[in-house]
Structure 1
C-alpha cells in the first residue's frame, strides 16, 4: 500500500482505522490495555504513525501537547533535552471537592456502551485561507459586526449545508455543537499546559427551517454568542449539576442525527512535529467517536490559516452535500503530493 492509496480516494479508506492499535477500544478498556499506544505502519513509500490515547488521560489539547513534546525530545537527539512546555499534571477540582468520587453504578453495563457506527462515508474537505477569509467577511457583514471568527463562520457553513443535505422537516430542532477548551475561561485560568481533560460542548440551537431561511451570518452569530457566553460560571455550574447526579459521557447516545458536532481544532500544532522523516503529508484519524454528523477540524497542510475538515455522514447525506453549491463553492482543490 502506498501513500497515494490512502490519500487519492475521495473517501478515507476504512483500512486507515487498522493503523491505530486501539481500534474500537473504549476508555474502560484501560483495565487491560495500555493508556497510550503508538503503532507505526510501514507503507511502500512512507510511514503512518498512529497514536492512540485513552481519553481519561487528557483531551485534544493534551494529546497534541504530548505529540509536540515527543517531537521536541526526538529533535534534541539526547543532547541537552529541555522541554519547552512541561506538562502540569496536578488535576483541577472545584473547591471542597475530593479527587475520590463514588459513581452510582452497580455494574459496568450501566455506563459503558460499545456501539458499532452505522455505515458512514468519511471525507476530507480542504478550505484555503482565502476561501475562509471571504466567508468570514460575508458572515460579519450579514450580522453587522466584526466579532465572528473564521472557525465560527466555517462551522455555521457546515451546519447549514449538512442540514440542507439531510432534508429535515421545517420544525425539526437542530444543533451545532463546538468542543470548547475551558482552560482560558476559568477564573483563575488554567494554564494551556494543564495536562488532563478541560473541555465543554457549546453551540447554537434552532429549527432546520429557521436555520435555512436565514443567512450564513445569522447562523454564525448564534455560534459566536454560544462561545462568547461560555464562562467560568458555566463550567462550575456544570460541575455542580454533575456532582449531584454523576454520569459517564457516552457520545453515541448524546448526539442526535439532526445535529452537527465540531471536534478537534485547527489551532493544534499538528504539522510541526518532526521524527526524522520531514513534515507529515496528511492527517487522518481512527474509528473512535465517529457518527453521522461528526466533523473534525485540522490545520490545512499549506498553513496560513487554511483548514481541513474530516466529515462523517450517511452515504445519502454525503452525496447531497457534495452537490450543495454553497458548500462546494467554498471548498478548495486538494493539494497535490509530489
Structure 2
C-alpha cells in the first residue's frame, strides 16, 4: 500500500468572489503571528466515503465545482488567506518587516488529486499510513515560504471509494481556532449554496490586536532570513490514533479529582496527565530526567478586556508543567493533573501581556527543534473545535487526519471523537520503541476504547 502515490489531476487558483477596499490595504501581523514564521503550516482534513448508488463522475464534479465556488465566497470574508507574505528589509537600522499583500497574489490554491487506495487502506492500519501526508499541499514547507507559496490550499483527493478533503493554512495567518473557523465557514457556505443573500453565522474579526503604543508594523531586527528561519526534518516516528470514550475520560476525571481532593481538575487535564505519565513510563527515562507537558492555550478569553471568540489570527501560547520522570511516576494521576490545572489557571492576562512585551523587547521566532524536546509531551489542537459537522455533499466525515507538519516525538494532537458526547481522539507520535512500549502498557490500553465509525 505504501507504494501507492497520489496523482495530481488539476491545479488552479481561487480568488475572492469580489474585492473589498479593505483587502487592498496591507494586512499587518502581530507578535503572536510573527513568532510562527519558522513553523510549519496547519494541515488537517477529513475522509469521507462516497455515497452508494451515486454517479461517481457527476458526484466528484459537483463536489469540486461547489467547493471552488464556496472557497471563492469564503475568501471574501477571510480575504487575508488569499494573499502572500511580503518582506521589506532595511539595513540601517537593521529591520525586517513582514506583512500580507492581497493585491499581488494569484489567490488560494485548489488541487484535485487521486490515489488508488480504498477507505479501508487508510482507516484499517494500526499506524497512520505515510501516504496520508500526500493528501495535503505544502508538505514540509515552513510559513516563511509563503512569499512564493499560497497562504491557503485545499486539496481534494479521490480514493476508490472515498474522498479526502485536506486544508493547509499558513500558521502565521492563524491558529487552530482560526483554522477551524475558516473550515466551518467553508462548509456552511457549501451547504447553503444557491442562497445568494446568505450571511455567514460567524464573521471573522479581522481587526488586529496590538498592545498600546505598538503596531501595526512590527520590526524583526534582522536583515537576513537565516537569522530567524530554520527547517526541520522529523525523526523516524510511528503515528497512531487512540480513541477515548466519554465514559473512560469521566473515570479519569473522577480519579484525578479524588486523588487531589478537589473538584477543579477538568476532563482534558485529567486525560492529558494520564497520557503524559503513560508516555513517560514508555520512554524508560532515568528518574532524574526532567520532563514537561505543554498544553496549547487560547489567549482570547484570557486578555482583559477579552478578544472576541472569532478574532482572526494567532492568539495562542503554551502552558507547561515540569517535573522529573521519577517524581511524575512516583506520584499518582491526581498529582500530575493538578500540576497541569495550576499551569492553566495561572495563565492570566498578566502572563499573556508579559509574553507580548518580552517579544517586543527582544523579537524572536519559534524554532521547532527548540520548542519540542524529546523528553516532554506537547498537546496541540483541541477537542472543542467543530470538526465533524463539516460536510461537503458526502455526508458526515469518517475520520480526521493531519499532514507532516509539526510531527515530533511526543507530539499529541487532540480531536473530538466522531460520536461526540465528550469522546476524544488523540493522534500520538512517538519513536518506534516508545510506541511499542506504550502499546504494551496494560493500564494505558485499558483506558483506550475501540474506534467508532
Offset of residue 223 of structure 1: 0.3
Tell me, which stretches of 5 or more residues in structure 2 are unaligned?
1-116
Q: Conserved in 1, the CA contact under 8 Å of 2:232 and 2:368?
A: no
Tell me what 1:230 maps to: 347
3-state DSSP of counterpart to 2:351? helix
1:54 lines up with 2:192 in the alignment = no
Higher deviation after alignment, 44-53 or 102-111: 102-111
Structure 2 distance, partners of 1:135, 1:190, is 32
Q: Which residue of 2 aligns with 1:16?
A: 132
Q: Which residue of 1 aligns with 2:388?
A: 271
Q: Does 1:155 align with 2:279?
A: no
TM-aligned CA deviation for residue 210 of structure 1? 0.3
Encode CA deviations 1:185-226: one digit per residue, 9 max, x unaligned.
Answer: 110001110010000100211011000000000000000000
Give SS of 1:83's match: coil
Of 32, 37, 40, which residue of structure 1 is paired with 2:156? 40
**1:94 and 2:193 aligned:** no
Tell me the TM-score normalised to structure 2 length: 0.73
Hey, what does 2:15 align to over in structure 1?
Answer: none
Aligned: 1:31 with 2:31 = no
Question: Do structure 1's residue 133 and structure 2's residue 261 form an aligned pair?
Answer: no
Runs of 4 or more above 4 Å deviation: none
The structure richer in strand per residue is 2
- Scaled by the length of structure 1, what TM-score is found? 0.98
Q: How far did residue 255 of structure 1 move?
A: 1.5
1:22 offset after TM fit, Å?
A: 1.1
CA distance, structure 1, for counterparts of residue 409 and residue 427 of structure 2: 12
The answer to whether residue 402 in structure 2 is matched with residue 290 in structure 1 is: no
SS of the aligned residue for 1:186 comes to coil
The aligned counterpart of 1:82 is 199
SS of corresponding position for 1:64: helix
Distance in 2 between residues matched to 1:334 and 1:87, nearest whole Å:
34
DSSP 3-state at the match of 2:179:
helix
1:121 is aligned to 2:238: yes
The correspondence for 1:165, drawn from 257, 277, 282, is 282
Question: Residue 320 of structure 1: CA displacement?
Answer: 0.4
Name the residue aligned to 2:329.
Answer: 212
Task: Say which of 188, 191, 204 aligns to 1:72.
Answer: 188
Measured in 2, the distance between the counterparts of 1:21 and 1:213 equals 44
RMSD between aligned alpha carbons? 0.8
Alpha-carbon offset, residue 169 of structure 1: 1.1
Compare 80-89 and 277-286 and name the one that shifted more: 80-89
* Secondary structure of residue in 1 paired with 2:301: helix
| More displaced 10-residue stretch of structure 1: 321-330 or 259-268 | 321-330
Taking the aligned partners of 2:326 and 2:301, their CA distance within structure 1 comes to 35
Aligned residue pair count: 336
1:252, 1:289 within 8 Å by CA — same for their partners in 2? no
In 1, Cα distance between equivalents of 2:371 and 2:184? 31
How far has the Cα of 1:23 moved from its partner?
Answer: 0.9
In 2, Cα distance between the equivalents of 1:251 and 1:230?
Answer: 22
